A and B are shown apart, each in its own frame.
Chain A
Amino acid sequence: MAWVEQFETTIPNDTAAAIEVQERIVSRLEELGYPPRDVFGCRLALEEALVNAIKHGNDNDPSKSVRVKCCIGAESFAIEIEDEGPGFEPQDVPDPTAEENLEKPSGRGIMLMRAFMTRVDYQGRGNRVLLEKARGNGDDE
């Protein structure tokens, strides 16, 4: 796969820094003409993954940081987000669409990432997530 852009960066554990990375990646996808649904899904998945890393993984600890590795091609992109936390088991997260969880105010981030990305894979001890997306055809998928 020939990537048009590749970068790796380590950001401080705060959401303002996360927004900057988000903007950088989303702008590149827009420049490459990715369909609006892909851009929407990428921004949403990035927001969810970065907030999870900062808040849950790194427990809002300002001394910690988040590593972001990004590879963007004309037909697909892959983003790796790694926090310094102890990790978790994604299968232990309750199904937010189950009747008993429907009114709970949290627990929907991973489900949204999976819905909008082609592949979401938790790696290492569960402190690293890989988001992959193949370019859509521009129709509603």
Chain B
Amino acid sequence: MASTSHRKIDVEEIGDVTVARFVDRKILDETNIQIVGNQLFTLVDDEGRRKIVLDFNNVEYLSSAALGKLITLDKKVKANGGKLRLCSVRPEIYEVFAITRLNKLFDMYDDQEKALEGF
């Protein structure tokens, strides 16, 4: 199926940090979220990346199932001795993190530049 191979994240190396930028505006729908999750997990499980910044600049919607994938990713990164930072989260999306108290679990930064500082 074409959609399974569709790239859901753009990956860029900045120094020793991997910046992963979501391509889609909406991280909704189980199938879609499964693909996003697998592409994110590959960064850690297969490629062994340890410093990851997730850039939410394009993201306008995300559901609780997407939050679940982020939590799993965070656990994987930490288990590998790495660190995960989130950046450029819109106010509506930040509210979703705040309601669920996940703003306490994740390191969140205003923009990519701030997320890269001292990483």
Q: List A residues at the B interface (Cβ < 8 Å).
A: 15-16, 18-19, 36-37, 40, 43-44, 47-48, 51, 55, 96-97, 102-109, 111-112, 115, 140
Q: In the complex, are the beta carbons of A108 and B29 less than 8 A apart?
A: no
Which one of B8-16, B39-47, B98-106, B107-115 is at the A interface?
A: B98-106
Q: In the complex, are the beta carbons of B28 and A102 less than 8 A apart?
A: no
The A-B contact count (CB < 8 A) is 65
In the complex, how many residues of chain B place their beta carbon closer than 8 angstroms to a beta carbon of chain A?
26
Task: Write the chain B residue with the least CB distance to A104.
Answer: B71
- The answer, yes or no, to whether B5 is at the interface (CB within 8 Å) is no
Whole-angstrom distance between the alpha carbons of A104 and B74 in the complex?
Answer: 11
Given A15-B31, A103-B75, A104-B71, do A112 and B65 touch, yes or no (CB 8 Å)?
no
Q: In the complex, are the beta carbons of B100 and A15 less than 8 A apart?
A: no
Q: In the complex, are the beta carbons of B72 and A15 less than 8 A apart?
A: no
- A interface majority secondary structure: helix
Task: Write the chain A residue with the least CB distance to B26.
Answer: A43
B77 to chain A, nearest CB (A): 13
Given A47-B63, A103-B105, do A111 and B100 touch, yes or no (CB 8 Å)?
yes
Task: Write the chain B residue with the least CB distance to A43.
Answer: B61
Residues in B with CB closer than 8 Å to A47 are: 28-29, 61, 63
Given A37-B92, A47-B63, do A108 and B100 touch, yes or no (CB 8 Å)?
yes
Whole-angstrom distance between the alpha carbons of A43 and B27 in the complex?
Answer: 12
Given A15-B30, A103-B75, A104-B71, do A97 and B101 touch, yes or no (CB 8 Å)?
yes
- The answer, yes or no, to whether B23 is at the interface (CB within 8 Å) is no
- The answer, yes or no, to whether B69 is at the interface (CB within 8 Å) is yes
Q: In the complex, are the beta carbons of A115 and B99 less than 8 A apart?
A: yes
Q: In the complex, are the beta carbons of A109 and B29 less than 8 A apart?
A: no
Given A19-B29, A55-B30, do A44 and B72 touch, yes or no (CB 8 Å)?
no
Indicate with 1 or 0, residue by residue over B28-58, a CB within 8 angstroms of chain A CB atoms: 1111000000000000000000000000000
User: Which chain B residues (75-99) contact chain A, with CB distance < 8 Å?
Assistant: 75, 91-92, 95-96, 99
* 8 Å CB contact of A48 from B31, B64, B68, B102: B64
Task: Write the chain B residue with the least CB distance to A114.
Answer: B99
Q: In the complex, are the beta carbons of A102 and B102 less than 8 A apart?
A: yes
Q: In the complex, are the beta carbons of A105 and B101 less than 8 A apart?
A: no
- What are 20 A-B residue pairs whose CB atoms fall within 8 Å in the complex? A15-B29, A16-B29, A18-B29, A36-B92, A44-B61, A44-B63, A47-B63, A97-B101, A103-B71, A103-B74, A103-B75, A103-B105, A105-B67, A105-B68, A106-B68, A107-B64, A109-B64, A111-B99, A112-B96, A112-B99
